Structure 1
Amino acid sequence: MIATRRKRIRPAALASLLALTLSGCGLSAELDRERNPAREPTPAATRTRAAQPSAPAVSETSPALPAGPKASPAVPVQQDRGCPLSGLRVGTGPVDAAMGLRAMTITLTNCGKKPYELKGYPSVRVLGPQGDPIPGVRTVEGTDQVAMAPEDPGPEALTLGPGESARAGLYWRMAAEDGTYLRVAPAAGRSTTTVRLPDPLDIGPENILGTTAWAPAT
């Protein structure tokens, strides 16, 4: 009688085990439920979840991220507020582009209290992202050496009263390297002002920057 009962129970046990296997739980999952019927997280599982941040982060074993662009150097540039000690403020316009020719306007404003005498061409140097002059870039008076640049009207004597401005044009041909700053003087030998450009000059090394003479700004 006992042997018969055992034979009847074994098929039922096999059927239960098969049902657990097909349901995806498996024997190990069933044993886990028996050991932890409340399904409380184990300490190891708690540590694993705590180690997963809500947003991507770099751990000590993560590969190094590629370095970002270098911070701009401490180039002394013209401040936006107030009037410089020279009494002159330098501004730049956007870069215009057409068929490889680039053009930009620079403006000189008398923000002081005395008239300022002006004649001739601006003195300009193009600086790279680190504040160093781009090698080989030559600034010339006039536009004859820049292909397709408009004709320079030539110099005239100006007197800028307080609040008045003059402008000059810069022309160059497109190249691979960008200029980030301009170091500008009203004329050679006068005090300079360094301005950061809103639009870089893609002038590149061994290139020519042509300038027009100062003219009244309308």
Structure 2
Amino acid sequence: MIAIRPRSVQSVALVCLLALGLSGCGLSAELDRESNPERKPTPRPTLTVDVPTRAANPSPSGIPTHSPSVPVQEGQGCPPSGLRFRADEGDAAMGLRAMGLDVTNCGDRPYKLNGYPAVTVLDASGDPFPGVRTVEGTDKVSMAPEDPGPRSLTLAPGESAHAALYWRMHNQDGVYLRVAPAKGDDTVTVRPPYPLDIGPENILGTTAWQPSE
């Protein structure tokens, strides 16, 4: 009879365990073969995540973004003045807010511009927003870009000019803009795509009209 040393027993046991692992002859492998004899891959559940969508024309303060009783510029056609105004969606960074204002000559004769637009911020009822003051230039609005300054422009039919509006973020919304090519000209009320979070006791700075690119 051949005596087997303890170290040899351990070696044989280790070899057997490795053989079982490599051959898939363990208990878990055997149960897997019985439940899935054709060895088809087991499907895994798919994780789905619901992503919230942004509501149109959000208003942080909860006030209505449009009142049917406020007369605004018609969506189509050319106003009697021969000028059509448009405010863009705006931009924001570090508490500074910016919004573009465009005017297009939709009439049939040239129109001269020289200076700054006349702009008044209105609340949801169409009244001037309390305490908001509009100034020509941007030096009174912290971190606003420099105003390029006024220049004489003549818009041929179909041509446009651009001005920029700047203000510092506040906690209440202005909903409309009452605009005119210059002080003393006929005004029109425009509803921007999003409210102006300008709040009371704030300053709206405007750049001079510049040719649109």
TM-score, normalised by the number of residues in structure 2: 0.69
What per-residue deviation string (whole Å, max 9, x for no partner) do you get for residues 160-209 of structure 1? 00000000000000001101100000000000010112111000010000
Query: Percent identity, aligned pairs only?
Result: 68
State yes or no: 1:149 paired with 2:136: no
Select which of 125, 133, 142 maps to 1:138. Answer: 133
CA RMSD in angstroms, aligned pairs only? 1.5
Please identify runs of 4+ aligned residues in structure 1 that moved more than 2 A. 68-71
Matching residue's letter, 1:79: E
- Based on CA coordinates, which of the two structures has the bigger radius of gyration? 1
**Distance apart, 1:81 and its partner CA:** 1.1
Instruction: Note the C-alpha offset of 1:72.
Output: 1.5
Contact 1:181 1:196 in 2 (8 A): yes
Change (3 A) 1:158 1:205: same
Relative contact order (C-alpha < 8 Å, sep 6+): which is higher? Answer: 2
- Per the alignment, residue 157 of structure 2 pairs with 162
Q: Which residue of 2 aligns with 1:93?
A: 88
Letter of the 2:76 counterpart = R
Structure 1 unaligned regions, length at least 5:
1-67
Once structures 1 and 2 are overlaid, which stretch shifts more, 111-120 or 191-200? Answer: 191-200
Partner residue of 2:109 out of 110, 114, 119: 114
Gaps spanning 5+ residues in structure 2: where? 1-62
C-alpha displacement at 1:69, in angstroms? Answer: 5.7
Distance 1:189 1:83 in 2: 21
Partners in 1 of 2:144 and 2:66 — Cα distance?
Answer: 34
Partner of 1:128: 123
Matched residue of 1:210: which SS? strand
Shift of 1:210: 0.2
Report if aligned partners of 1:73, 1:129 keep a CA contact under 8 Å in 2. no
Taking a change above 3 Å as real, the CA distance of residues 196 and 155 of structure 1, as seen in their structure-2 partners, is same
Contact 1:77 1:195 in 2 (8 A): yes
Which residue pairs with 2:38 in the alignment? none
Does the residue aligned with 1:83 lie in a helix, a strand or coil? coil
Tell me if structure 1 keeps the 8 A contact 2:105–2:156: yes
> Matched residues in 2 for 1:71 and 1:122: separation?
23
Shift of residue 70 of structure 1? Answer: 9.5
Provide the residue aligned with 1:208 in structure 2.
203
Specify the code of the residue in structure 2 equivalent to 1:184: V
Q: 1:87 to 1:99 in 2, by over 3 A?
A: same
Q: Distance in 1 between matches of 2:101 and 2:181?
A: 11
Give yes or no for contact 1:138–1:209 (8 Å, CA) kept in 2.
yes
